[in-house]
Amino acid sequence: MEQVHAVVLAAGKGKRMRSDLPKVLHPVCGQPLIFYVLDALHHAGISSSIVVVGHGADRVREAVGAQARYVEQAEPRGTGHAVLMALPHLPDDGNPVLVLYGDTPLLTAETIHALTALHRTSGSAATLLSARVPDPSGYGRVIRDGDGRVRKIVEEADCSSEERQVMEINAGTYMFRQQALREALRALTPGNAQGEYYLTDTIGWLLGREQQVSALVASAEETVGVNSRQELAAAESLMRRRLLDRLMEGGVTIIDPVTTYVHAGVQVGPDTVIHPQSYLEGATAVGARCTIGPQARLVDATVGDGVTIVASSVERGAVGEGSTVGPYSRLRPGTRVGRFVEIGNFAELKNAEVGDHTKVHHMSYLGDVTVGARVNIGAGTVTCNYDGTRKHHTDIEDEAFIGSDTMLIAPIRIGKGAVTGAGSVVNKDVPPGGVAVGVPARVIRYVTAERRR
């Protein structure tokens, strides 16, 4: 198969966004707009892409990284000018050129496929993507003749009142025969008083040279372009619905898609139920048969099978199979919870390793801590990990029983099977099996064999 060269335009300022951030970097479902365009190209099997950057070039380059090559357009002199900047960097090999805009995140790989296929079979000089939309305002209109053949694209500002009524819009995605594109761009003249060169004018120019132009009509959803915050919100909601649909197709129950928020790339296993007002963000992966929410927020979280997380947040952490979290708990970065663990009401964990079958209930703070298996952390337990200057570590070994309201002054180690009394302030290590009580705590005896089971 012939190779397709893709050119993605991302040099515009995005004035109507009124933002310091380059437009194509505004996120939709957790990823910058341009990410989706490049992702669609990738899935369409197109590996050779040039991104035209200009406004905020460094930031765009940094965000997109090495998956594309870059060409700079020093001044935003229009979409035609932007493609012209890319031309010298394309191998002059006669392979077709696919031009896309970095602000149309909903375009799919399937449609790119269909466009390239139509271009190939039609043998046209250019094949453009269009859509019939309920509200065409802001878009260029695709003007056809009485026989339905494309005649030209007219930008809204240049439309006659009749042309303005046309509901078929230019999506900003085109396949060109390379030679035809080179010739048409060379011939381009400014399309408006600001001296901008419109890529869209190449269509009329080619048709005027008796060259054939085809059009593929896509769905209105796929062609949504983002120029304003309102359109950003519209794209977000369409993308979110698409991501939720994908999860549902994979066997996930989503009680209320309207109040469930997911980022691109989030994975959820089958028969997991996501309850309302839940947020699955970043590189979150949730196993099968989980109950997530209501009101759960997972950010870069790894969650095993059969986990329940209610009204709690997990950020950059992991929760193992069969464990329950919440309601009302906060797992901060660096927390790794084992299997069949119970993290109860109002617990806060940070940088905490928690062993299997351990219970942490009722208003505890565990920070910078390693907790073994089958440990019980009593209500109100606090690891006093910060001395005002430095953070210190706490070790709680397997089967320890930490009494309610114990203060553990780190650095400290509570031995295997040891017990602390309610209200104790423990500032010295407790040996395995030791029972420490009081303020400051003293070991008063050792647990008997039956207590240790």
- Residues placed in the known binding site: 9-12, 23, 73, 78-79, 101-103, 140, 155, 170, 227, 332, 350, 365, 376, 379, 385-386, 404, 422
Cβ closer to ligand UD1: 62 or 256? 62
Among 7, 71, 155, 321, binds ligand UD1 (CB under 6 A): 155
**Active-site residue set:** 362
198 binding ligand UD1? (CB under 6 A): yes
Cβ closer to Ca ion: 225 or 415? 225
Among 81, 177, 339, 413, binds ligand UD1 (CB under 6 A): 81
> Binding site residues for Mg(2+), as ranges?
103, 227
Residue 357 binds which entry of ligand UD1, Ca ion, none, CB below 5-8 Å type-dependent? none
Site for Ca ion, rule CB under 5 A:
103, 225, 227
Q: How many residues bind ligand UD1 (CB under 6 A)?
A: 31
Cβ closer to ligand UD1: 206 or 349? 206
225 binding ligand UD1? (CB under 6 A): yes
12 binding ligand UD1? (CB under 6 A): yes
Among 153, 298, 299, 375, binds ligand UD1 (CB under 6 A): 153
CB of 101 to Ca ion, least distance (A): 6
- Strands in 308-309's sheet, in edge-to-edge order, are 253-254, 273-274, 291-292, 308-309, 324-325, 342-343, 359-360, 376-377, 401-402, 419-420, 434-437, 442-446
Cβ closer to ligand UD1: 8 or 252? 8
Of 6-14, 240-248, 300-308, 391-399, the segment contacting ligand UD1 by CB under 6 A is 6-14
Q: Look at residues 388, 435, 429, 398 and name the one whose alpha carbon lies nearest to residue 411.
A: 429
